[in-house]
Amino acid sequence: MIEVRQLTKSFARHQAVKGIDFNVAPGEIVGFLGPNGAGKTTTLRMLTGYLPPTSGSARVAGFDIFRQSLEARRCIGYMPENVPLYDDMRVREYLKYRATLKGLSNRDARRRVNEVIEICGLEAVRRKMIRVLSKGYRQRVGLADALVHEPQLLILDEPTNGLDPNQIRQIRDLIKKLSEKHTILLSTHILHEVEMTCGRVIIIDGGQIKAQDTPQNLVAGMRAAGRIHAEISGDLGVIGPALQRLDHVKRVTSEPLTDDWAHYEILVDSGTDARERIHELISQYGWPLRSLHRKDATLEDVFVELTRRD
């Protein structure tokens, strides 16, 4: 559905996107992640034909987005980061206007507007002025707009940005429902959302792709380098170095708690556990221990590992 090859965008001397390659297959729901300024919006704007690339190519549904822009754009429903809406129009009137602008006949526009109002849960506000809508409803109007011409592909730039947890859940459920019929490329900062909704993840940083895989594989790759958490009582200056000397321990960080207790995070080599060795060491010296567990990595750990600056 999407084929991107060596796509590059420079603004004056700054290269925002540096020759990226990726594919999205029909029916996939792919999360496009990266820290602020990573190049996500720039990439999405190129894919949707709003921004010409400096070099490289992109095809959507087989159409070259730059040479066959009109055909490609017919296949795309784009919801930009800050949905621009006409505040002085009513919801239904706005969607009808957008449908006509996208080339639907009067009859099709009427039919589709009714359908997207239902899909996006806008019945209660269909006659309201856009100006008076909550942020959650505005996002849904943006989604309805992106859907109105029945595109195969939905490109959503931070669709849950600025929403409260209930609204986030509603938009997430809506996106899941939409994924039954549409291919979706979704940019977001909420990693938990991605783990719950996306079959695959592309992580971009500094205009380059750092990883692309299923959330499960990315997390499994991290889990190989295990993280053990322990709370031990005793001298930090003795316990830390003793843990550090154990086989397979890569790094130990500690944080003092109350009454002589401290929390230790122990990073161990791939494929090793080390909890037994840690327990033996602690018993040997008689240090009181109140917790010892291995923490499974999350997509957030993967994201931080791949995009941290230090």
Ligand X SMILES: Nc1ncnc2c1ncn2[C@@H]1O[C@H](COP(=O)(O)OP(=O)(O)OP(=O)(O)O)[C@@H](O)[C@H]1O
Q: Which residues bind ligand X (CB under 6 A)?
A: 11, 14, 16, 34, 36-42
- Residue 19, token pair as written in the block: 């020759």
In the bound state with ligand X, the residue whose beta carbon lies nearer, of 156 and 262, is: 156
| Least separation in angstroms between CB 14 and ligand X | 6
- Residue 309, token pair as written in the block: 């600056």
| Least separation in angstroms between CB 87 and ligand X | 23
Q: How far apart are alpha carbons 219 and 60 in whole angstroms?
A: 29
In the bound state with ligand X, the residue whose beta carbon lies nearer, of 139 and 148, is: 139
Q: How far apart are alpha carbons 124 and 308 in whole angstroms?
A: 44
User: Which has the closest alpha carbon to 58: 68, 206, 79?
Assistant: 68
In the bound state with ligand X, the residue whose beta carbon lies nearer, of 39 and 226, is: 39
Sheet holding 183-187, edge to edge: 76-79, 153-157, 183-187, 29-33, 200-205, 208-213
| Least separation in angstroms between CB 9 and ligand X | 8
DSSP SS3 for 143: helix
Strand partners for 294: 228
In the bound state with ligand X, the residue whose beta carbon lies nearer, of 41 and 183, is: 41
Cβ neighbours of residue 136 closer than 8 Å, sequence gap 6 or more:
163, 164, 166, 167, 170, 171
In the bound state with ligand X, the residue whose beta carbon lies nearer, of 4 and 95, is: 4
| Least separation in angstroms between CB 159 and ligand X | 13
| Least separation in angstroms between CB 187 and ligand X | 7
| Least separation in angstroms between CB 81 and ligand X | 6
In the chain, the largest separation of any two C-alpha atoms, in whole Å, equals 81
In the bound state with ligand X, the residue whose beta carbon lies nearer, of 39 and 142, is: 39
In the bound state with ligand X, the residue whose beta carbon lies nearer, of 186 and 268, is: 186
| Least separation in angstroms between CB 293 and ligand X | 34
- Residue 253, token pair as written in the block: 């960080």
Q: Can you count the helices (H) and strands (E) in the chain?
A: 11, 14
